[in-house]
Amino acid sequence: MNGADRLCDTLLANGVDVCFANPGTSEMHFVAALDRRPRMRCVLGLFEGVVTAAADGYARMAGTPAATLLHTGPGLANGLANLHNARRARTPMVNVVGDHAGYHLPYDAPLTSDIDSLARPMSHWLRRCTGPDDVGPAAAAAIVAARSHPGVATLVLPADAAWGDAGGPADIAPAQIPAPRAVPEERVAAAAEAIRRAGPRAGLLLRHEGLRADGLEVAGRIAAATGARLFAPVQIPRVEAGLGRVPVTKIPYAIDLALKCLAEVDVLVLVGAPEPVAFFAYPGKPSRLLPEGAPALLLAEPGEDITGALAALADRLGAKAPPEVARPAPLEGAPSGDLTDAALSRSIAMLMPEGAIVVDEGLTTARSAFDLLKGAPPHDYLMLTGGAIGMGPGAAAGAALGAPGRKVVALQADGSGLYTVQGLWTQAREKLDVVTIVFSNRAYAILQREMRNVGVTEFGENAKRMMQIDDPAVDWVSLANGFGVEGAAVETAEGFHAVLDYALSRDRQGPFLIEAVMA
Amino acid sequence: MNGADRLCDTLLANGVDVCFANPGTSEMHFVAALDRRPRMRCVLGLFEGVVTAAADGYARMAGTPAATLLHTGPGLANGLANLHNARRARTPMVNVVGDHAGYHLPYDAPLTSDIDSLARPMSHWLRRCTGPDDVGPAAAAAIVAARSHPGVATLVLPADAAWGDAGGPADIAPAQIPAPRAVPEERVAAAAEAIRRAGPRAGLLLRHEGLRADGLEVAGRIAAATGARLFAPVQIPRVEAGLGRVPVTKIPYAIDLALKCLAEVDVLVLVGAPEPVAFFAYPGKPSRLLPEGAPALLLAEPGEDITGALAALADRLGAKAPPEVARPAPLEGAPSGDLTDAALSRSIAMLMPEGAIVVDEGLTTARSAFDLLKGAPPHDYLMLTGGAIGMGPGAAAGAALGAPGRKVVALQADGSGLYTVQGLWTQAREKLDVVTIVFSNRAYAILQREMRNVGVTEFGENAKRMMQIDDPAVDWVSLANGFGVEGAAVETAEGFHAVLDYALSRDRQGPFLIEAVMA
């Protein structure tokens, strides 16, 4: 058994049975090993950014890590932006990065680069296999790292470690995954005391288990008992939302709105989330979002028992009364007229089936969606988490694979979607039930706003050339068809409603794309 | 004048007047500064890999660096694969990477990452502006670094360095670019002695100035006088080739062919090129390509006076007789029948106009092109240089901008082209005369060969799923149309010849794409 076989078997023994891949020459032994193991589902991405986004979307839904297979430094580099998002989401994932044989590195062949330096900023854990007999232990350690909530584990696999004899037994025992660490009682006590004192001027900032239905239920009881308010960060890895679930207030992206959102908060208890800070710095505006003097109090961080800490907090506060859940008035009457953000979001909220998964990379164009969908049937809502645009098409594919049988609705800003548009092909190849809605405003609208924020209100030729993508306009239906995906373009709210209804209810399996040409 | 203004003026004062950009929020002050300077031509890429490839292609043709504008760590990461190629090509370029304001970094906002760690592996030179008054000096130093033949210079621009007051005079003197260093006479003497001794068993490995028409002429005289053979590396940044130019033998990519190519060489003189090594390591095969005991002798490396060293070598060898130049029999009769690599290359060689620029990312599918084009009218030939696929569409756009009025013929493998297919849009927006020929074999053919090299001859489901891209087949004409590019698909040699003839001779300015569906 060579190192590559050993790596595959270690992954499979630990329940990692999906591998998102874009392989290259130095990974041929690993590909051969995968080929000998049909239990591993290999999913090809035409670009590495699709591969890493897919692994992220997959694990957010499946709860278990996928593997990725990337080719040397440049292949890793192509996947880094979405590893950045995964790292910020704390998504478990095992990246296998092929490298030259160790003895070949000193020759500085054309594809040689410092993989470790590239991988470190976007990995929670990094290790280079020292030889074929190190592959098994290193792979097990990578899985432990991925699953014990650091998150992104990157394993560099030199070609000679893959092709050399790894020895060892054929049976591989699954690695022991440590349980989440218990949260010290003092933190629970301090949080309870702060919430009691501040009442409705206290906030809980929820993330990870805190945003799953069970966690939300407990947080909702705390809110009901104390008046504390429930917040979610500007970018959410995953929240269980919709009718019957405890609603949360998402902190807005725009700095002034974010400051306003938290202006009445005297103390913020952090439940799996870091303290909220400004997405960017602006001259004369603060980096912290909480009012001056308002502390952020850590209850639990990733790797700790967030669920247990939340339950202990509720107990200590005597929060037993049932929480308030989302019960907005039903949306009636399909929207008509211009295709605005609000009209699009309204149709989506009306038509989305129960159990759908929303993958939101809508940015400026899907602002209404999160709140309107509180009135939609129960669903999961996943967002871009690190601000590195270009997650959508791959993450939607991964989410569909991570939760088979559920419909994925991808809210996709056009500028961002073009970064990794190749992800549509993976959706077609795997016949995934993804309905992508492209919010086509033919501009980097977020930048146009930010330009106004720095005081530029009239755009000259160069500014227009960098912020408008309307010349030529991208024809999304052509792109979708080119990648084997059915599609339609619409220009009215009525048209959108009808096409979305069709796309969500048709019998045929496979992806569909709607280009919503916005007013 | 703020730091961003200072940066623009320093670039312009040094003749850097093209900026390939994919900006983000943290670069708004720089965008505003560019907007105040219409002399700077800003060219948008829909993805950063297009941006860096375009800057590479531009500088290879223009001879002067372009700037790039990239957004924080993830934006840089998206451009790294093509920076890798540029670094291997030693292409001069100034990358401006925006970062958070310095005081905002400790807050670890979502887009924060270790930009320096990401940039270092793919940069010859790296510096972070320490404040607004450091921007001018740092930009000047970046330009000096780019132009004195290290190559890739990366400048990190924190937002507060861009928006702060930079002071200083309005007039900026151009930076002094040091002349290439003279090559020590002893190296010339040693090379001459070795060539004299080895005669036809001596080789010159040429790169950079050694592959331009003038350098080739001198090398050709040396070959005529001594019998020494002329080689080019497997991947060539730029060679002036075609009828009337001194032909060179390109070292093949495949290890066995490469070893065979150099088997009769007793000594290899390195003229701007590193010693040739195997692209990848293979069990039981050597890393060095030269026969055991055959030395590689450095004559000149990048940053040194390659042209002068070559002239001095010719003088010392008394090489005055005119060189042999390419004068193959004219190709007659358009190819017919199946669309093979040879048929495609033959049509290209027959139809390509004088002064064309070939951008070759054809990989396995365009193997015949380099040799057949020796019979085409004089042209420039640019190749992928670092093995990081996905350079083609962007590099073709950059080359067209770097040499206005010349036709670009892009030989594009389908798998590679899909990495950065967004580059077609930039070609359309800038109305560039690029004719892209997609060699559509619907497979990662290079990997299929390498699998056979590791002993796998029957491919199972997983191997097929990772090496074939035929299900669904990508419709390149749809993709091209989606990005605003005209296109046609052909399936016969006759059809290809006719469409290529049309594409190269039509009046209308702008890009055209031909999908050649290969037999």
**How far is Cα A69 from Cα A224, in angstroms, rounded to an integer?**
47
Do residues A470 and A448 lie in contact, with contact meaning Cβ atoms separated by under 8 Å? no
- What pLDDT band is residue B332 in, cutting at 50, 70 and 90? confident
Pairing relationship of beta strands A486-490 and A512-517 according to DSSP bridges: parallel
Q: What angle do CA B389, B391, B392 make, to 5 degrees?
A: 110
Confidence at residue B287, expressed as pLDDT on a 0 to 100 scale: 97
Dihedral sign (CA A447, A449, A454, A457): positive
Closest CA–CA distance from residue B325 to any residue of chain A (Å): 30
CB nearest B42 (choices: A115, A419, A462): A462
- Report whether pLDDT(B170) > 80: no
**Rounded-to-integer distance, Cα B193 and Cα B203, Å:** 13
Overall average pLDDT of the A467-491 stretch: 96
Other Cβ atoms closer than 10 A to B438 = 30
* Residue listed under structure tokens 């007039």: B171
pLDDT value of position B453: 81
Least confident residue range of B171-175, B296-300, B484-488: B171-175
Distance from CA of B356 to the nearest CA of A (A): 26
Q: Which pLDDT does position B485 carry in this prediction?
A: 98
* pLDDT reading at B357 higher than 80: yes
Contact B40 A78 (CB under 8 A): no
A232-241, B41-50, B345-354, B462-471: the lowest-pLDDT one: B462-471
Best mutation target among B97, B422, B465 (most A Cβ atoms within 10 Å) is B465
Which of B35, B122, B235 has its CB closest to that of A460? B35
Closest C-alpha among A40, A95, A89 to residue A63: A89
Residues 6+ apart with CB under 8 A from B518: B339, B340, B341, B344, B365, B439, B440, B441
Q: Is the pLDDT of residue B300 over 90?
A: yes
Other CB atoms within 10 A of residue A329 CB: 6
- Predicted structure pTM score: 0.98
Average pLDDT over chain B, rounded to whole?
95
CA dist B329 and B326 (Å) reads 10
Q: Which of B35, B43, B111 sits opposite A456 (nearest CB)?
A: B35
| Chain segment A147-175, per-residue pLDDT in tens | 998 899 999 999 999 999 998 777 899 99
Distance CA B42, CA A101 (A): 42
Q: Residues of chain A with pLDDT > 70: what percent?
A: 100
Tell me the C-alpha to C-alpha distance, in Å, between residue A182 and each of A151, A185, A192, A310, A343. 19, 9, 17, 11, 46
What is the helix (H) or strand (E) element at residue A475, kind and residue range?
none
Q: Using CB atoms, which residue from A37, A279, A473 is nearest to B109?
A: A279
Q: Please, where are the H alpha helices in B148-289?
A: 159-163, 185-198, 213-226, 255-261
**What is the chain B residue with the closest CA to A253?**
B110
Name the residue in chain B with its Cα closest to that of A106.
Answer: B287
Tell if the CB–CB gap between A77 and B80 is shorter than 8 Å. Answer: yes
pLDDT given at position A244: 95
| pLDDT at residue number B458 | 87
CA A341, CA A339: separation in Å to the nearest integer?
A: 7
Interval A245-254 mean pLDDT = 96
Return the residue of B nearest to A444 by Cα.
Answer: B24
Structure-token pair, residue A284:
């004369």
pLDDT of residue A508: 83
B137 versus A331: the higher-pLDDT residue is B137
Chain A residues with CB under 8 Å of B276 CB are none
Q: Which of A47, A113, A278 sits opposite B84 (nearest CB)?
A: A113
Backbone angles phi, psi at A68, to 5 degrees: -120, 155
CA distance A234 to A251: 5
Take residue B464 and report the two structure tokens written for it. Answer: 């097929």
Percent residues over pLDDT 90 in chain A = 89
Nearest CB to B451; choose among A28, A40, A74: A28
Q: Kindly list the residues from chain A whose CB atom is less than 8 angstroms away from the CB atom of residue B120.
A: 114, 117
Determine which of A309-313, A370-374, B396-400 has the lowest per-residue pLDDT on average. A370-374
For the cut 80, the answer to whether the pLDDT of residue A210 exceeds it is yes
Contacts of A23 in chain B (CB under 8 A): 444, 447, 466-467
Three-state SS at B323: coil
Across the interface, whether the CB atoms of B418 and A47 are under 8 A apart is answered yes
Chains A, B: CB contacts within 8 A come to 324
- Give residue B326's pLDDT: 84
Cα–Cα distance measured from residue A166 to residue A5, given in angstroms and rounded to the nearest whole number: 8
Q: Identify which of B279, B364, B388 has the alpha carbon closest to the alpha carbon of residue B52.
A: B388
**Which of these ranges, A439-448, B53-62, B223-232, has the smallest mean pLDDT?**
A439-448
**Residue B211 corresponds to which amino acid?**
L
Res A366: pLDDT: 78
Mean pLDDT over B261-288 rounds to 96
Residues with Cβ within 8 Å of residue B442, at least 6 apart in sequence:
B414, B468, B469, B470, B473, B474
* Interface contact B35-A461, CB threshold 8 A: yes
For residue A342, give how far its alpha carbon lies from the nearest alpha carbon of chain B (Å): 25
Which of A353, A342, A338, A365 lies closest to A500, judged by CA? A353
Is the ipTM higher than 0.95? The answer is yes
Mean pLDDT, chain A, as a whole number? 95
In one-letter notation, the amino acid at residue A112 is: T
Q: Do A466 and B23 touch (CB under 8 A)?
A: yes
Tens-digit pLDDT profile for residues A79-124: 999 999 999 999 999 999 999 999 999 999 999 999 999 999 999 9
Task: Determine whether the interchain pair B462/A40 forms a contact, defined as Cβ–Cβ distance below 8 Å.
Answer: yes
CA of B18: which chain A residue's CA is closest? A462
pLDDT exceeds 90 at position B446: no
Query: Which chain B positions have a beta carbon within 8 Å of A160's beta carbon?
Result: 281, 283
**Model confidence over A251-285: pLDDT tens digits?**
999 999 999 999 999 999 999 999 999 999 999 99
Cβ distance B18 to B64 under 8 Å? no
Q: Which residues of B touch A285 (CB under 8 A)?
A: none
Measured between CB atoms, which of A25, A34, A277 is closest to B107?
Answer: A277
**Six token digits for residue B447:** 């990997």
**What is the per-residue pLDDT for A139?**
98
Contact call for residues B341 and B331 (beta carbons, < 8 A): no
Best mutation target among B12, B152, B280 (most A Cβ atoms within 10 Å) is B280
Residue A347 three-state SS: helix
Q: B438 has which bridge partners?
A: B412, B515
Nearest CB to A280 within list B109, B235, B388: B109
List chain A residues with CB under 8 Å of B392: none
